C-alpha cells in the first residue's frame, strides 16, 4: 500500500444498485466497508392538500433537466396518446431546460401538443415546492431510461421530494428507482414505453383510491428511509463510531 494513502473506514453508498456496482469493481472482500445509507429530503409537516375542486385540469409535472437519460420524449409521446384517448384538460409541466431543449420543443410542435405541454424553464426550487404544498400538482412523472453507455439514474431526489409532499409518482424500472418505489410507494413502468407510461397516468386520473393510496405510501416510504434528519444523524453516528474505534 502507498504509505501516503489512508484506507477508508467505510464508503457510503446511497442506493443498493450503486452498492452492487461498487462491489463489482472492488470485489466482495471489501463488502463490509460498503455501507448503504440513502440520501434524504426534508419532510413537510403536512402532505399536499387534495387538488382544489375548482381546478378542472389534471396536472403532471416532470422536474428533470433536458438530458437524454431523463427520457422526456416518452412522456411527450404518452401525453399525445392520452389526448387521443380523449383525456381532456390534461396539462404537463416541464420545469427545467438543457441541451435537448430544441429537440423537445420540436417534438411538442410535431404532435400538436403546445396547449397540453408547457415548458416553464428552470423555475426556482422554492416555487416547485410551493406548487406541491399548495395542491397544484396531481402526479410527478420521471420517464428515465438507461443509455447505451450504461448511464442511468441513482435514486432521484426529484421523486423523493414529491413523495415527501404526498404527491403520487410514476417512474421507470431503472437504476435505483425500483428501490425507492418498492411496496407500492409509486407506479413503475418499463423504460422507453410511452404506451405503458400513458396507461399508468390514466390509472391515476381515473382511480381516486389508487391516487390516494400512492400518496400515502409514498410519504410513508420517505419517512421510513429517506428522511434527511434521520439519515444525517445516522451518518454522524457512523463517523463517531469510527473515531471511537480508532482511539480504542
What's the pTM value of the predicted model, to 2 decimals?
0.90
The C-alpha cell at 31 is 463488502
* pLDDT value for 239: 86
What are 87's three cell numbers?
383525456
pLDDT of residue 137: 95
Check residue 5 and give its pLDDT.
59
The pLDDT of residue 183: 93
3-state DSSP helix/strand/coil % of the chain, to nearest 5: 50, 15, 40
Task: Kindly give the parts of the chain with pLDDT less than 50.
Answer: none
| DSSP type of residue 186 | S
Q: What pLDDT score does 50 carry?
A: 74
Instruction: Please tell me the predicted confidence (pLDDT) of residue 238.
Output: 87
| pLDDT value at residue 6 | 61
The predicted structure's pLDDT at residue 241: 77
Q: Express each pLDDT in 102-128 by its tens digit.
A: 999 999 999 999 999 999 999 999 999
Tell me, what's the pLDDT at 248?
Answer: 62
CA dist 234 to 35, 70, 172, 230, 231, Å?
A: 11, 31, 29, 6, 5
Amino acid at each position: 500500500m502507498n504509505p501516503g494513502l489512508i484506507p477508508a473506514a467505510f464508503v457510503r453508498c446511497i442506493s443498493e444498485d450503486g452498492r452492487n456496482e461498487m462491489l463489482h469493481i472492488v470485489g466482495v472482500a471489501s463488502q463490509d466497508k460498503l455501507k448503504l445509507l440513502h440520501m434524504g429530503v426534508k419532510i413537510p409537516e403536512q402532505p399536499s392538500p387534495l387538488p382544489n375542486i375548482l381546478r378542472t385540469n389534471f396536472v403532471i409535472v416532470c422536474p428533470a433537466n433536458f438530458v437524454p437519460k431523463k427520457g422526456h420524449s416518452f412522456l411527450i409521446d404518452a401525453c399525445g396518446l392520452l389526448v387521443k384517448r380523449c383525456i381532456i384538460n390534461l396539462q404537463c409541466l416541464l420545469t427545467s431546460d438543457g441541451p435537448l431543449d430544441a429537440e423537445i420543443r420540436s417534438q411538442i410542435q410535431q404532435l400538436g401538443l403546445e396547449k397540453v405541454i408547457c415548458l416553464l424553464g428552470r423555475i426556482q426550487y422554492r416555487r416547485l415546492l410551493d406548487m406541491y404544498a399548495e395542491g397544484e400538482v396531481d402526479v410527478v412523472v420521471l420517464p428515465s431510461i438507461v443509455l447505451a453507455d450504461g448511464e442511468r439514474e441513482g435514486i432521484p431526489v426529484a421523486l423523493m421530494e414529491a413523495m415527501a409532499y404526498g404527491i403520487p409518482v410514476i417512474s421507470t424500472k431503472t437504476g435505483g428507482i425500483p428501490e425507492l418505489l418498492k411496496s407500492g410507494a409509486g407506479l413503475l413502468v418499463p423504460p422507453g414505453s410511452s404506451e405503458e407510461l400513458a396507461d399508468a397516468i390514466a390509472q391515476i386520473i381515473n382511480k381516486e383510491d389508487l391516487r390516494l393510496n400512492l400518496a400515502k405510501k409514498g410519504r410513508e416510504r420517505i419517512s421510513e428511509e429517506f428522511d434527511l434528519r434521520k439519515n444525517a444523524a445516522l451518518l454522524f453516528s457512523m463517523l463517531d463510531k469510527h473515531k471511537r474505534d480508532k482511539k480504542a
